[in-house]
């Protein structure tokens, strides 16, 4: 399993999304950006911080679940 898979699963859970496309709409990121992150097997830390602020969760909490 790629390391990004657990992060994406957590983000889908936090956004109550069933699909990556739905999650992208909620997080306001282009689907192509998500595709690049998947190809690189990494989401930039800056973006993860933005998502944690937007979703009202601690980065520490997010890392525990990854």
The Cα 29–Cα 44 span in angstroms is 13
pTM: 0.83
∠ at Cα 37 (4, 12), nearest 5°?
55
Give which of 31, 28, 35, 34 is closest to 53, Cα–Cα.
Answer: 28
Query: Residue 1 has which token pair?
Result: 């399993």
How much is the pLDDT for 25?
A: 97
Per-residue pLDDT of the chain (66 residues; tens, 9 = 90+): 688 998 999 999 999 999 999 999 999 999 999 999 999 999 999 999 999 999 998 877 545 444
How much is the pLDDT for 31?
A: 97
From residue 37, how far is each of 53, 56 by CA, in Å?
20, 22
């Amino acid at each position: 399993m790629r390391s990004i898979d657990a992060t994406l699963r957590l983000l889908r859970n936090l956004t109550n999304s069933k699909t990556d496309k739905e999650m992208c709409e909620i997080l306001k990121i282009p689907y192509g950006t998500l595709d690049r992150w998947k190809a690189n097997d990494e989401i930039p830390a800056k973006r993860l911080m933005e998502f944690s602020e937007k979703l009202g969760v601690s980065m520490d909490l997010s890392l525990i679940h990854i």
